[in-house]
């Protein structure tokens, strides 16, 4: 998955990484609930742990896309730079 915030320049070679946690819970009736506590609203479910993981990553992608994707402000701030976040699935 790839998310990019719009801005004037691209930052490459960033040595810091963003670490998020996926928490799994038994949701009953054969469902597994997955959530990312660091990002409110990033939760989903699946019949298997892998499906729940894929679905919560999709939910996270949607949240970030809405916040920082095409729907973000068209004009970047005067003193700004872009940040690319790569999340390996």
What was the pLDDT predicted at 64? 82
What was the pLDDT predicted at 1? 42
**The token pair that represents 39 in the structure block:** 């990002």
Strands (E), the chain: 2-4, 23-28, 31-35, 43-46, 84-86
**The token pair that represents 62 in the structure block:** 């949607």
pLDDT band, residue 2 (cuts 50/70/90): very low
What was the pLDDT predicted at 18? 74
The number of folded domains in the chain is 1
Q: Which domain holds residue 8?
A: 2-86
CA distance 81 to 10: 7
pLDDT digits (tens, 9 = 90+) for 24-81: 999 999 999 999 998 999 999 999 999 999 999 999 888 888 877 665 555 666 776 6
Residue 59's CATH number? 3.30.160
């Amino acid at each position: 998955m790839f998310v990019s915030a719009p801005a004037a320049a691209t930052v490459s070679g960033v040595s810091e990484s963003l670490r998020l946690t996926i928490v799994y819970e038994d949701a009953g009736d054969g469902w597994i609930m997955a959530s990312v506590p660091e990002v409110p609203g990033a939760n989903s479910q699946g019949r298997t742990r892998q499906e729940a993981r894929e679905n919560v990553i999709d939910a996270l992608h949607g949240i970030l896309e809405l916040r920082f994707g095409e729907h973000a402000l068209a004009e970047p701030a005067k003193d700004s730079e872009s940040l690319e976040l790569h999340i390996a699935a």
